[in-house]
Amino acid sequence: MLIRYLKSEQYKIICNPWFVIAAVAIVVFIPVMAFTLGSYFGETGFILTKSKLIQGFYLGQAGFVILAGLYFGREYLRSSLRTSLLSSPVRHKLLISKFMSILIWTTGIFMLSSVIAIAALYMNSGNDLGLSELKDIAKTLSPCFISTVELVVITCAAVILSKSMIVSMSIPVALILGLGNLLLQYGRIFRYFPVVSAMNGFFVYELPNYLEISKGLAVQGIWSIALLVAGAIVFEKRCVK
């Protein structure tokens, strides 16, 4: 039955033109940003390539947040959620299939963007791309991917809790685009907020202003799990009469 739910959700995604447009935009946006952004710490060579790549994925997080908000938020338009819940006797399987669907698309878009961005950067630099460089890049991008997945889960859970696509997207996007750093000036407690906690995953060299990469990802992971559990409870208890 879970497979049936998953197929249904994939069909919904494909038939949602705004989702498809957003997905294509992310695939284009991340490589363009990686290609055009400059050096942050004055890096050169291979370090510069990695720096530009992760900077592109940092800004690309905003696209993934919008993608998740569009997917889950669509259910709250035109009584779509009511129809879905009434036609689904087992709600938790419906919810699982939704999260599986958005994570499948997130992973696929991230991988495709990575390949295009890496190819563009190396074609521009003219450097050789060996196995050791690929391993290093994969290691560098791992925290970026984990952070992106966590933000997608947080956004989806926020849609369920707030019943608002706009609210759930605007807060993470604002944190990504500078609000997080602004809040950090008013207190170190804001280091433990989503996005801000995982900032060091998007720098070639860790900065003391932010949490260590592993600790930051763990903190953001706790946020995502807590909101996911709260969202699942609300989803199970929601009345559709």
Q: Which residue has the higher pLDDT, 128 or 179?
A: 179
Percentage of residues of the chain with pLDDT beyond 70: 87
Burial track 156-175 (b if 16+ CB lie within 10 A, e otherwise): bbbbbbbeebeebbebbbeb
Are 237 and 92 a contacting pair, CB within 8 Å?
A: no
User: Which of 76-80, 119-123, 145-149 has the weakest average pLDDT?
Assistant: 76-80
- Span 184-199, pLDDT tens digits: 888 889 999 999 999 9
* Predicted confidence (pLDDT) at residue 86 exceeds the cutoff of 60: no
- Span 16-51, pLDDT tens digits: 888 899 999 999 999 998 888 776 666 667 787 888
The mean predicted confidence, pLDDT, of the chain is 85
What is the enclosing helix (H) or strand (E) of 92? helix 91-125
Q: What is the mean pLDDT of residues 127-152?
A: 86
End-to-end CA distance of the chain: 25
Q: What is the mean pLDDT of residues 160-187?
A: 87
Rg of the Cα atoms in the chain: 19
